[in-house]
Amino acid sequence: MGANKQLSKLTLQDGSTFLGYSFGSKKTVDGEVVFNTGMVGYPESLTDPSYRGQILVLTYPLIGNYGVPGNELEDNLLKYFESDKIQIQGLIITDYSFDYSHWNAKKSLSDWMKEYGIPGIYGVDTRDLTKKLRTKGTMLGKIVQGHEKITLKDPNKRNLASEVSIKQPITYEKGKKKILLVDCGAKNSIIRAFLRRNFTVIRVPWDFDFEQENVDGIVLSNGPGDPKKCKETIAHVQNILSKNIPILGICLGSQILALAAGANTYKLKFGHRSQNQPCIEAGTNRCYITPQNHGYAVDTDTLPQDWREWFYNGNDQTNEGIKHISKPFFGAQFHPEASPGPDDTEFIFDMFVRAMK
């Protein structure tokens, strides 16, 4: 099964090269090279729109062993994926399992990647690669087939949220109360979280003018890239802050909320992408284990007087959440909806629901 091996390589912007064997699509792509330390959940991770423009390195050594599930729908959403397609640019792993086994598997990881034109490399020393990224910081890179010229483009210079957002509003009917979800690259699990709580979800494009919408609450979704590129979203949120409509920002949405409030954001050296990031609730000793996927953070020193840090990261003390001191405005830098990862912080959805009553 793996007999006809074709060499492929990953070249980083510092000139270093990592050799391996090709699987998935036989394409040349470039992007921002990032790593994720999760042990499971590659179908969810690969379809997470927050990975747009990125070449993903998985540190867990064996990938592909449980295959890929089918395209079953639930509430008009793909049941086992976080969006309608693979979002990463490419995939780098140590060992690819050609023989997959799972009761719900419908195809192999490699075949799935071929469907969407996503290249992968296996046989790479991902420990060495991750240590380099962990020390020097996130770098641009390119998956190269053969002897092609190395030119690198920084995806963060584009408005990546506009690339992954829906183009027209979509309504997911459920209960009488309505959530407006600003889709900057929303994961399906965020929608599911509110449908389970009997809310109708109105999903709108990233630049949709929602200021006159009659809804019970507004959710600013996760998404890829630099939050400052979402200028239209920031402007709409700024205008809505004068009202008391509850707002919840998730990941990129938390950064957009902070920017709208007047704070600043900055790029992290290597970002947080894993299922086990410790987040401490400010003013307490309570620590939550959270799934994360972001490369930017809020500068808490720039928060206005009526805003407070809500959570901070137990590893590097960077911001993991913000909240207003008197109005129902909240932002979580991690993913309370999980998928993949622990759902320790799903209570944030319940807290947001209570704010809408």
- Ranges assigned E (strand) in 113-152: 119-122, 139-144
Positive or negative: CA dihedral 249, 165, 279, 201: positive
Are 110 and 23 spatial neighbours (Cβ–Cβ below 8 Å)? yes
Distance CA 319, CA 189 (A): 23
Please identify which residue in the block is written with the tokens 């086992």.
Answer: 80
Specify burial of residue 135 (Cβ count, 10 A radius: 0-12, 13-18, 19+): exposed
Q: Which residues are catalytic?
A: 251, 335, 337
Contact at 8 Å (CB) between 129 and 20?
Answer: no
- Tokens 């979509």 appear where? 170
Instruction: Please say whether the beta carbons of 112 and 105 come within 8 A.
Output: no
Residue whose C-alpha is closest to residue 87's, from 46, 142, 38: 46
Nearest alpha-carbon partner for 280 in 345, 206, 330 = 345
Q: How many CB atoms lie within 10 A of CB 211?
A: 14
Cβ partners under 8 Å of residue 259, min gap 6: 227, 228, 234, 265
Task: Return the number of other C-beta atoms located less than 10 Å from residue 342's C-beta.
Answer: 14
Query: What letters, b where the CB count within 10 A reaches 16 and e where it falls short, cover 213-252?
Result: eebbbbbbbbbbbbbbbbebbbebbeebbeeebbbbbbbb
- Partnered with residue 92 across adjacent β-strands are 57, 121
